[in-house]
């Protein structure tokens, strides 16, 4: 049975685009309140809506962090399941067959070692695996 893997795409887009923190938001809100027109103060509903929007943004950011952690754990579990299996990997445009004999998790992402008939392939990623066989 052949299994193909595809890498996750765009996993760090949200974390790069939402660098505003609670302290930044409070500074902006304080400046807005200090500089408002005394004859036309900020509407309470608008004020509450801004706070709710920021709370939603913060929850989305935290959810993205948790999803990134989950993807990392899923990659680790997937790698352990491949231990001892024969795989075909794309190595510089060539298909190379071998058996997965080691997994290095020190970098936070799985780096596989594959034993082939001509030696070892180190630092193979899951995205390089083309086919998995028993």
Which percentage of the chain shows pLDDT scores above 90?
A: 43
In 3D, which of 58, 69, 59 has the Cα closest to residue 11? 69
Could you say which DSSP state residue 127 is in? G
Note whether 130 and 98 are within 8 A (CB).
Answer: no
In 3D, which of 14, 19, 24 has the Cα closest to residue 63? 14
Helices (H) and strands (E) counted in the chain, each on its own, are 3, 5
Q: Is 92 exposed, middle or buried (0-12, 13-18, 19+ CB in 10 A)?
A: exposed
pLDDT at 109: 87
pLDDT at 13: 45
> pLDDT band at 19, cuts 50/70/90?
low
> pLDDT band at 33, cuts 50/70/90?
confident
Note whether 96 and 129 are within 8 A (CB).
Answer: no
CA dist 78 and 99 (Å) reads 15
- pLDDT tens digits, 44-53: 788 788 888 8
Length of the chain: 134
């Amino acid at each position: 049975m052949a299994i193909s893997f595809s890498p996750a795409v765009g996993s760090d887009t949200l974390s790069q685009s939402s660098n505003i923190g609670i302290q930044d938001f409070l500074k902006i809100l304080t400046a807005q309140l200090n500089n408002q027109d005394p004859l036309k103060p900020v509407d309470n509903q608008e004020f509450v809506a801004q706070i709710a929007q920021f709370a939603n943004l913060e929850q989305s950011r935290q959810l993205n962090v948790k999803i990134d952690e989950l993807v990392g754990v899923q990659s680790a579990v997937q790698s352990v399941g491949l231990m001892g299996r024969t795989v075909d990997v794309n190595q510089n445009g060539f298909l190379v067959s071998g058996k997965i004999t080691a997994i290095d998790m020190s970098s936070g992402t799985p780096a596989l070692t594959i034993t082939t008939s001509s030696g070892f392939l180190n630092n193979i990623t899951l995205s390089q695996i083309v086919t998995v066989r028993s």
